[in-house]
Structure 1
Amino acid sequence: MNIVCACPACHTGMYQASIEDASSITCPTCGQSIAIPQGGIQFAEQNAHPRLVRCLVCPSTELFVRKNFPQRLGIAIVIVGLAASCVAWGYRDLFWTFGILFSTALLDVVLFFVVPDCLTCYRCGARYTGINGMGEFGNFNLETHEKYRQQAARRRQSTLPS
């Protein structure tokens, strides 16, 4: 099981592999250590894959399944495909216009089946890969995401100087 998260102290990205064997996650930049909570990872049987119960960075138990793919890259692929097809349309080349659109859609389908899933925490955004049993967690829920987004906005607003 691997984790990619932001350090709570310096907000730089951290990556650690084999977290089920570790007792803490240490930031390589500032050196802050995040202790892995007891019961955060459950081991069902000897030699069985561990099961994630909650986020190991924050106290949240609400996680969702998503593709382990950068959203900005996906949007960039769509925008480039759209722009290229618009250029072909401007040259009145119908074959190239639809060829570019269909190849962009085909690339999207291939990426969907090739890119693995990961678990993501609603609260802190930590991503967990190499996990079995992701079916216990649902897909993205906008209501849950909005709840955590509003909580973060209130926390930021309460810490602002008056």
Structure 2
Amino acid sequence: MRPIVALACPSCERDIRVELPPSTSPICSTCGEAGPWDGTGLTDDGGLTACLACGHPELHTSKDFPQALGIGIVVVAALLAPFTFYASLAVAGLLDALLYRFSPNVVACYACEAAHRGFHAKPRHPGFDRTIFERLRFGERAVMGSPMRPGGTAGAEDPEH
């Protein structure tokens, strides 16, 4: 699988999918606007130290699983629960656990929310950290918020929840 970056168009907010290495700056197929591209956060072995779209060094790892599918499974199981003696809820839980286990990881940028798929796992980026998210979204108004780590999130520990 070739590395792919999915980023939002700055004009119409539709997804722009970029396969690496890009030949030119990414162009939105809907409106023709040029998307952001930094491209400097790639390591020699194919890992990420920063977002390839905006260059921000703080990234997080999550499962590449469509949330709507997970919610749909639970809703269908809940609707069937009275007719299946609630066994459908156990089946939904098992199915959800299996899908989660076998779903690939995606590395996402806190700043621009670009999704990086198919990149080398090293350096490892921690899971989502709400304090980083709030600091970037709300700035000085953030109730919580930790200062940026020197060098970003590459190789950092997972947040304590």
Question: Does the pair score TM above 0.5?
Answer: yes
The Cα shift of 1:33 comes to 2.5
Which structure features the higher share of strand residues? 1
Identity, % of aligned positions? 29
Call closer, same or farther: CA 1:38–1:114 in 2, change over 3 Å. closer
Alignment match, 1:72: 68
Unaligned segments of structure 2, at least 5 residues:
143-161
Alignment match, 2:5: 3
Would you say 1:51 and 2:47 are equivalent positions? yes
- Contact residue 60 and residue 110 of structure 2 kept, 8 A: yes
- Contact residue 59 and residue 125 of structure 2 kept, 8 A: yes
**Residue identity in the other structure for 1:32:** E
Unaligned segments of structure 1, at least 5 residues:
44-48, 89-95, 155-162
**Residue identity in the other structure for 1:62:** E
Call closer, same or farther: CA 1:31–1:4 in 2, change over 3 Å. same
Structure-to-structure mapping, 1:97-108, within 5 angstroms = 97-108=85-96
Alignment match, 1:92: none
Call closer, same or farther: CA 1:38–1:120 in 2, change over 3 Å. closer
**Number of residue equivalences:** 139
Aligned-residue Cα RMSD (Å) equals: 2.3
Which structure features the higher share of helix residues? 1
TM-score (norm 2): 0.75
